[in-house]
Structure 1
Amino acid sequence: MSVMKNFLNVILILCVCLNWCFTEGVAEKKESGKVDSYTFQVSSLFPSSSSCVLSSKASNTKSSLRVVHMHGACSHLSSNKDASLDHEEILRHDQARVESIRSKLSKNNADGVSMTKSTKLPAKSGITLGSGNYIVTIGIGTPKHDISLAFDTGSDLTWTQCKPCLGSCYSQKEPIFNPSSSSSYHNVSCSSPVCKNGTTCLDSNCVYGIVYGDNSFTRGFFAKERFTLTNSDVLDNVYFGCGEYNQGLFFRTAGILGLGRGKLSLPSQTATTYNNIFSYCLPSSASNTGHLTFGSAGIVSKSVKFTPVYSFRSSPHYGIKIVGISVGDKELEITPASFSTNGAIIDSGTVITRLPTKVYAELRTVFKEKMSRYKATSGRGIFDTCYDFTGLDTMRIPKIAFSLGGGTVVELDKIGMVLYPFTRSQVCLAFAGDDDHIPAIFGNVQQKTMEIVYDVAGGRLGFAPNGCS
């Protein structure tokens, strides 16, 4: 009997070990039952790029489109040249994005602009606007001309490159839109009420111009056109910028899909159709897909927790209130003044979350204490807290959670939301400290795999786990 009991104990131990080793993320609890760390496979930091994994939630939605990562296995835009883009370039462009935000807010000029139905669009990650952004493919004009646009919660006006490119156009993958071939295209007249706030005129037509903080720019005609989101969702008379003179860090995308708070953003223009609600889930890796959804009927998660969203000065950005941050079982010493000077925003276009210097310094200190068992290695770029996981199958990292206004807690419970991998021998904490002249920015690495709901009409922002699959 004792032999059989010992045998069963061995089997039980083996089962526990197997479950430990082969589970991507295992939550570990203290005696109180509170989760303060997760165990992950090191290999999950480097997902295979040989196959395309479609989001089940997006693909099973009636109005969804196939979505791809711009440089990933699913992409028709990827090329060998794209593959040569390295992390240093991605992070350099990310810093340009942050500088752009700083410039816009310091000038109180949102974009430098001179001038209960649901549909789902795919979110695909690329590199544009100075950072590792995400893109969607939509149709424009009649007949429909497909273009890939970076969607941006920090921009209002949607724009795309247009022929004849009288000044210059940067290189994009798809053919440039030709408005003369569309029967639904119309320039906006200078006499139109929407042609104001610094717009200029050319031959009685309204002309716009946008200059970003990194000196990228687009200029052209302010126009109206038909936008096709899906075969069943066609939007007429959408205001947009038809750019004939464009330069900057936009790479192979065709322009910007503006999702900001202003009157010219797509959610604002379609408020009667989609109730000024949209949501998205950013894919976990370049081999996975995500989605962008307009309308409340497309919200796929029932466990969304909301926090109030705040107007952020005169910018299109969505302000949030960070009231606390925890690392494992340690609450950081955040006071009401920690974020009061410049506040905080959530931004789809910034890659790495930026925190005030003192807040980041404490987060880094506590994280290092929790990770003391692992071999530290040299920093890289904006990262100063990096580890060497060579030879390890699993790792345990402390849970990081953000407490927001209204009692909402956002837990970063996926390894890719906390760590930024270069190689197995250099994996870094995916946060950075910044000077106190810009707001804190909740970046897109920390948003991955969550469903994030922008209920603009309701003045709230929602978070839910597992929004892509």
Structure 2
Amino acid sequence: MGKVKQILIMIFIVLAVSGASNVDQLHKWRKSMSSGASSSSGVSRVGSSVIFQLYGNVYPNGFYFVQVFVGHPPRPYFLDPDTGSDLTWLQCDAPCVHCTKGFHPLYRPTNDLVVCRDPLCASLHSSDYRCDDNPEQCDYMVEYADGGSSLGVLVNDLFTLNLTSGVRIFPRLTLGCGYDQLPGVSDHPLDGVLGLGKGKSSIVSQLSDQRVVKNVVGQCLSGKGGYLFLGEDVYDSSRITWTPMSRDHTKHYAAGSAEFFFDGKSTGIKNLNVIFDSGSSYTYFNSQIYHSLISSVS
């Protein structure tokens, strides 16, 4: 087994008042990128970052999304950036058995199927998963905490990405072609999910393995959108406080144990496991914290 990679995550919660300046800065970056050089290679100097503009808000929309270009020629799709899951998938015309309402026409997959014995396929299944039935393709099923799910097959396709170095690249990445979706209770009219988790199949892990960016994901959120970046060279380090992610959590981003305070005072509830999940619209408490909060309020 290889050395475990250190993964850091930065989550910025920015008030709407300061959000405008961040979005203005993003527009400057995007303007400089639009005239940048192109490269057909998915490999770039590690040190650049990939930036996506974030659209949406917490209220009233209740979700954020990014625009990602996939395929050749590249077509736009609106995806839910989710640090709580690994797999990136698009609603797919394979044909589609059940698809929810999205912004764009269904993704038409390439013929570049991922075989069942591919390491990325193995990362989505338990160790006793067998490839006897369909060795030439990798079937997947992902389920989410809100009851939603996606069933499909893995494919490889080109992504169009802009780097902060001014270069536009077209790495071939693995994604899910989802032909059977069930909406969850917090369903949003998007084309799919951008998986940003810690697993091998996540976009940030794939780009890191191809030495495009370092294994860092960050989000700047405001009431008017914000931006998402993969890599670490887009911030002013003097204004950032870094918190290493706990290695005890192999699947989720977590900063270690936490203590619950109410009105600036400790409730006595300690050693809590807290995970960062950008794909969730809500903050969830376990029953112990919930009852403590209700008692404190009443």
Query: How would you bin the TM-score normalised by the shorter chain?
Result: 0.7 to 0.9
**What is the CA–CA distance in structure 1 between the aligned matches of 2:286 and 2:151, rounded to whole Å?**
35
What is the CA-CA distance between 1:146 and the residue it aligns to?
0.5
- Of residues 179, 189, 194 in structure 2, which corresponds to 1:252? 189
Deviations 1:247-275 (A, max 9, x none): 21343201110111111111111112211
- Of residues 131, 134, 138 in structure 1, which corresponds to 2:64? 134
**What is the CA–CA distance in structure 2 between the aligned matches of 1:325 and 1:235, rounded to whole Å?**
47
TM-score normalised by length of structure 2? 0.72
Residue 58 to residue 171, structure 1, CA distance change in 2 (3 Å): same
For 1:243, the equivalent position in structure 2 comes to: 178
**What is the CA–CA distance in structure 1 between the aligned matches of 2:170 and 2:255, rounded to whole Å?**
28
What is the CA-CA distance between 1:166 and the residue it aligns to?
3.9
Q: Is the 8 A contact 1:199 1:208 kept in 2?
A: no
**What is the CA–CA distance in structure 2 between the aligned matches of 1:65 and 1:350, rounded to whole Å?**
30
**What is the CA–CA distance in structure 2 between the aligned matches of 1:333 and 1:203, rounded to whole Å?**
54
Which protein has greater RCO, CA pairs closer than 8 Å, 6+ apart?
2
User: Percent identical across equivalent pairs?
Assistant: 24
Residue 166 to residue 202, structure 1, CA distance change in 2 (3 Å): farther
For 2:231, the equivalent position in structure 1 comes to: 295
Output the amino acid matched with 1:266: I
What is the CA-CA distance between 1:319 and the residue it aligns to?
4.3
For 2:56, the equivalent position in structure 1 comes to: 125
Output the amino acid matched with 1:175: P
**What is the CA–CA distance in structure 1 between the aligned matches of 2:260 and 2:182, rounded to whole Å?**
40
Q: Is the 8 A contact 2:120 2:201 kept in 1?
A: no
Residue 210 to residue 126, structure 1, CA distance change in 2 (3 Å): farther
**What is the CA–CA distance in structure 2 between the aligned matches of 1:203 and 1:192, rounded to whole Å?**
10
Within a 5 Å distance, the mapping from 1:356-395 to structure 2 comes to 359=289
Question: Secondary structure of 1:122's match?
Answer: strand
**What is the CA–CA distance in structure 2 between the aligned matches of 1:356 and 1:252, rounded to whole Å?**
29
What is the CA-CA distance between 1:165 and the residue it aligns to?
2.9
Match status 1:210 vs 2:210: no
- Of residues 74, 82, 86 in structure 2, which corresponds to 1:144? 74
For 1:270, the equivalent position in structure 2 comes to: 207
Output the amino acid matched with 1:132: G
Deviations 1:347-378 (A, max 9, x none): 21333433455656666777x6xxxxxxxxxx
Output the amino acid matched with 2:265: E
How many aligned residue pairs are there? 255
Which one has a bigger Cα radius of gyration?
Answer: 1
Query: Gapped runs of 5+ residues in structure 1?
Result: 1-43, 67-115, 369-384, 386-469
Output the amino acid matched with 2:252: P
What is the CA-CA distance between 1:245 and the residue it aligns to?
1.5
TM-score normalised by length of structure 1? 0.48
Residue 347 to residue 214, structure 1, CA distance change in 2 (3 Å): closer
For 1:331, the equivalent position in structure 2 comes to: 265
Question: Secondary structure of 1:195's match?
Answer: helix
Question: Secondary structure of 1:353's match?
Answer: coil
Query: Gapped runs of 5+ residues in structure 2?
Result: 1-14, 35-46
What is the CA-CA distance between 1:312 and the residue it aligns to?
5.3
**What is the CA–CA distance in structure 2 between the aligned matches of 1:133 and 1:209, rounded to whole Å?**
23
**What is the CA–CA distance in structure 2 between the aligned matches of 1:195 and 1:349, rounded to whole Å?**
22
- Of residues 284, 290, 294 in structure 2, which corresponds to 1:354? 284
**What is the CA–CA distance in structure 2 between the aligned matches of 1:54 and 1:279, rounded to whole Å?**
13
Match status 1:56 vs 2:24: yes
